[in-house]
Each structure stands twice: as C-alpha cells, then as structure tokens.
Amino acid sequence: MTSEQTFIAVKPDGVQRGLVGEIISRFEKRGFKLAAIKLITPSKEHLEKHYEDLSDKPFFKGLITYMGSGPVCAMVWEGREVVKTGRMILGATNPLASQPGTIRGDYAIDVGRNVCHGSDAVESAKKEIDLWFKKEEVQSYTQAQHGWIYEK
C-alpha cells in the first residue's frame, strides 16, 4: 500500500493539559512523518464546516463552542495506512472504551474532552487537511530514517 495522509488535531483540552508533545511523540515513535503543524484557535465558521456532518446532533453547539474555546494543534501525518493506524493510536472516541496504551485510554475520561480528533477515512482526511492547511503548508520530503521503517 502507498503512503497516505491523515489529519490529527489536539483539541483544546489536550493543548491546555500540555499533551501536544506526548501525542507527537507517539506518532513519531510509530514511524509516521509529520508533514504539517500549526497552533490555531479556529473560528466558529471554520468549526461548523469541519463538523458539518454532525450538525443535526444535539451536542453540535456545545462541540463548536468547546473546540473554539482555545488553541488547537492541527497536524498532518503521513505514512502507510496512517488513517487506520492513527485512529488506533488515539483509541475509541469514548475514552472509557479505549484501551490502556492509547492516547484517549491513557489521558481522557469524558467523550467531550477526549484530547484528539483523527480523520476516520482517507477521503475525510483529504477534506480536513484542505480545510485546515493551505497546499504550501504541507511539506513533502523523505525522512532520513525512511529505509529503517519501510521495507520498500
């Protein structure tokens, strides 16, 4: 399988709790490549577009308010099957259902404060990356350790 990209965001609770470095470290240790990163407090309009598929849910308004309450660390990660594996690194959306050793399993209790967002499919990753980053903000490079992570 070829390399793909995913969108991972450390939510305001994760940023405020000082977990950005730990989350970056877990993706790097797994062998994934950081292609873009920025700290941003997103606007209400930006968040409504990001979460438009949830707009009919009763928690939508609270989610938008919470996600705009402080800085978010937005990132693009790249690697083989990074979308699926990234979701595994994050753990289940409900932290109480997350396994120990996952980010949510280690650092979260409530769904509404589950530390991170991760794309759920390659298609949604592309949409989210385009929403959060300009093309020129996403870097294309080969890591020096590439041959030590991938056989071919």
Please give the positions annotated as active site: 117
d(CA 136, CA 11): 24
Element (H, E) at 56: none
Known binder of ligand: residue 44? no
Q: What are phi and psi of 122, to 5 degrees?
A: -60, -40
Residue 114 annotated as binding site: yes
Q: For residue 103, which of 87, 125, 79 has the smallest C-alpha distance?
A: 87
- Helix %, strand %, coil % of the chain (to 5): 45, 20, 35
126 Cβ contact partners less than 8 Å away, ≥ 6 residues apart: 5
d(CA 130, CA 21): 24
CB 110 within 8 A of CB 59: no
**104 annotated ligand-binding residue:** yes
Residues belonging to the binding site for ATP are: 11, 59, 87, 93, 104, 114
Binding site residue list: 11, 59, 87, 93, 104, 114
